Amino acid sequence: MSEGTCRSCGAEVIWSPVAATGSLMPLDPQTELAPEPKLVALNPATGLCRVLKKTDMDQAVLWAEHGVTYHRSHYATCPDAAKWRGS
């Protein structure tokens, strides 16, 4: 997990490895108050993240008690995201 900037729009992002694949995902640094599907759960203890599914919601509430934070994927908010799809 590291902080950086989006090379397209220049926004601040957190780069976190996805737990299932190890590939890096850019996250918006602002935290969301409550978990919801499609948000990304970031575990600061491990530095790993995972995209939340509907089936995760019961557990996700408990994860917050252990320091897990919830973020939007920068892929969903970047104004230049379309030019990176498929690359």
What pLDDT is attached to residue 81? Answer: 86
Number of Cβ atoms within 10 Å of the Cβ of 59: 12
CA angle 37, 81, 11 (to 5 degrees): 90
Give SS3 for 8.
coil
| CA–CA dist 71, 42 (Å, integer) | 7
Residue indicated by tokens 């920068």:
74
Residue 87 pLDDT class (50, 70, 90 cuts): low
Can you read off the two tokens belonging to residue 57?
């919601």
User: Is the entire prediction scored with pTM above 0.85?
Assistant: yes
pLDDT, position 6: 95
- Region 19-36: what's the mean pLDDT? 95
The model's pLDDT over 32-68, given as tens digits with 9 standing for 90+, comes to: 999 999 999 999 999 999 999 999 999 998 898 899 9
